[in-house]
Structure 1
Amino acid sequence: MSKYNFRLQKLLDIRLDKEEESKRNFTEAQNEKLKVESKLQQLNENYEKYRNISGTESAVKRRITHIYLNAINYSINEACEELKLKEKTLQDKRYDLNEKRVERKTVEILKEKGEAAFLKEQNLIEQRNNDEFALYGFIRNHREGR
């Protein structure tokens, strides 16, 4: 019995490679987003830690704390903008990954259908051969019985 040879195997391999690359890009974008989220959380924690300025501190210390809070606030705003960009990038990578999966699955479905048709044809050939052998055996036995 011969083996099924899928003519588009190279295309399927290329699509698999592209999907794997897209998965890596998606994971990378997801990790970058998580880093930005972590940074933003850390900045918010620092802001909450130093935002209460008591009147018992010296004017210089209050002024330094105020400048530090302004810097943290500015950093928080920048991190929020960066997070929005990372989320958009992540969405783009997710869309690209889904697109690559659909492309790969399309070729895989073609392969599966071709393989199923091939197996069906092989089974029909085998069945015809078996029927022919049975017919020859029947004829031989029938002639010997006379």
Structure 2
Amino acid sequence: MEKRTKDNPWKLQTPPQSSSYEMYIDEKNGVEIIVCTVGKTVLHYDARIVNDLYEMLKKHNDWILLGSKDEKAEAKEGTVEYWGRSKDNPIGGWYGLKKGLRGRVGMYIPPLLEALGLAEVEHNKRNNKMRAI
């Protein structure tokens, strides 16, 4: 994976292309993380999500709904968001690392995979899907 820094982040847009945000790779407590800055809000995701989500998408071999939800809302089964917090994913739970801000995997991670050339993401107003390339 291309390593972007705070000084040279990925500049991305949410799937509906309604909001801009930035992401870069950093390290926290010896673990590689993705730092996602949306306005003044900073979220952290375990960087393993990039390869793990890509592998899941390849196995799924079809479009999958993103299903973005914040941490307190229940994610719909069969969506990227559900997978990103499921006990059945490769890390056995949340890829989001900041308590209270662990959700929104289905909003912020798919455009990163698209920027990396790993996935195709729809850009409708809602109910967007993605698939591996």
TM-score category, normalised to shorter length: under 0.3
More helix by share: 1
TM-score computed with the length of structure 1 as normaliser: 0.19
Of structures 1 and 2, the larger Rg is shown by 1
More strand by share: 2
Q: Which has the higher contact order (CA 8 A, sep 6+)?
A: 1
